[in-house]
């Protein structure tokens, strides 16, 4: 199973070019789509989920034309948007039963078995009779995955799934996504670097609608080996360093800014070599390509 996207473009009526000639090859497994808010990730996700049209380009899931065979795509698609509404006072089991019927599971006994299996899989069986609207954020996301799995989809799209989750729920969600991604194409759209590093075998960085990088997270990190240098500085000195060095990031450590700079050689001046990580890749790509 492989999703091949070629030259996908989308410009909104206000002139914003949300997708600019996007081309990606996404194999079976977890695929991370990393980018800042407004980078074009959600536009790409909505387009692949058949919720909006592209201006040009193609997207093929094996021999299935994603952009033009929308009804067929919807039968093989699982989608968890960034935010989704639920009916008040409707229990998880009732709501999943309703979604399963909409997906074409007509037989009542089969539907009941499917709902039970899904609720066990996402660890919500014990709270199946509670209203989904009363669930915590992490529980709602797990319910969202359960509804996305109805119909044994071949393509699953999850948009910013771990934003706002506490560490425990985040880990549970990581484990669930990793298990799902063993046999289908799972696209994880996020601005959280850790999500991609811990979950995905392949990834792309998207910014202002353009693909800046495509490949494996480890290859991306290896490409910066020996090129990242760190130094703690006074806050008042930051503008000077930004003028004299390629500063890709700055964060407070023990109350003082620690900067990372990109350089092929030792910058001297008290800088130390730093082991690059995916966050360095992300910020360096944005710095270089802008």
Q: Tell me the domains of the chain and their CATH numbers.
A: 2-215 (3.40.50.300), 223-289 (no CATH)
- In 19-136, which ranges are continuous DSSP H helix? 41-48, 70-75, 92-102, 108-121
Enumerate the β-bridge partners of residue 190. 34
Angstrom distances, CA of residue 33 to CA of 37, 182, 215, 262: 12, 18, 11, 23
pLDDT in tens, 249-271: 998 888 889 999 999 999 998 99
Question: Stretch 154-167: mean pLDDT, rounded?
Answer: 83
Bridge-based pairing of strands 202-207 and 29-34 is parallel
Helices (H) and strands (E) in the chain, counts: 10, 14
- The percentage of the chain sitting over the pLDDT mark of 90, rounded to a whole number, equals 63
3-state secondary structure of 285: helix
Question: Stretch 232-257: mean pLDDT, rounded?
Answer: 90
Range with the poorest average pLDDT among 58-67, 77-86, 160-169: 160-169
Contact, 239 vs 225, CB < 8 A?
no
pLDDT in tens, 103-121: 888 899 999 999 999 999 8
């Amino acid at each position: 199973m492989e999703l091949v996207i070629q030259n996908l473009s989308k410009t909104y009526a206000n002139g914003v070019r949300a997708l600019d000639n996007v081309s990606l090859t996404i194999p079976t497994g977890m695929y991370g789509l990393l980018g800042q808010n407004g980078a074009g990730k959600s536009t790409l996700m909505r387009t692949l989920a058949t919720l909006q049209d592209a201006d040009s380009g193609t997207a093929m899931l094996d021999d299935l034309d994603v952009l033009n065979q929308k009804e067929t795509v919807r039968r093989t698609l699982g989608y968890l948007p960034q935010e989704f509404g639920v009916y008040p006072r409707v229990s998880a089991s009732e709501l999943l039963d309703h979604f399963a019927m909409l997906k074409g599971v007509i037989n009542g006994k089969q539907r009941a078995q499917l709902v039970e299996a899904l609720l066990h899989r996402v660890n919500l069986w014990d709270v199946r009779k509670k209203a989904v609207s009363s669930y915590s954020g992490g529980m709602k996301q797990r319910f969202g995955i359960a509804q996305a799995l109805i119909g044994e989809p071949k393509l699953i799209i999850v948009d910013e799934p771990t934003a706002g989750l506490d560490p425990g729920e985040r880990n549970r969600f990581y484990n669930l996504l990793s298990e799902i991604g063993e046999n289908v194409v799972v696209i994880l759209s996020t601005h959280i670097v850790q999500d991609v590093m811990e979950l995905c075998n392949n990834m792309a960085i998207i910014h202002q609608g353009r693909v800046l990088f495509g490949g494996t997270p480890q290859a991306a990190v290896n490409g910066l080996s020996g090129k990242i240098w760190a130094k703690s500085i006074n806050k008042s000195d930051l503008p000077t360093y930004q003028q004299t060095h390629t500063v890709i990031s700055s964060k407070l450590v023990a109350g003082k800014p620690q900067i990372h700079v990109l350089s092929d050689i030792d910058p001297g001046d008290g800088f130390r070599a730093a082991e690059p990580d995916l966050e360095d890749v992300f910020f360096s790509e944005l710095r270089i390509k802008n």
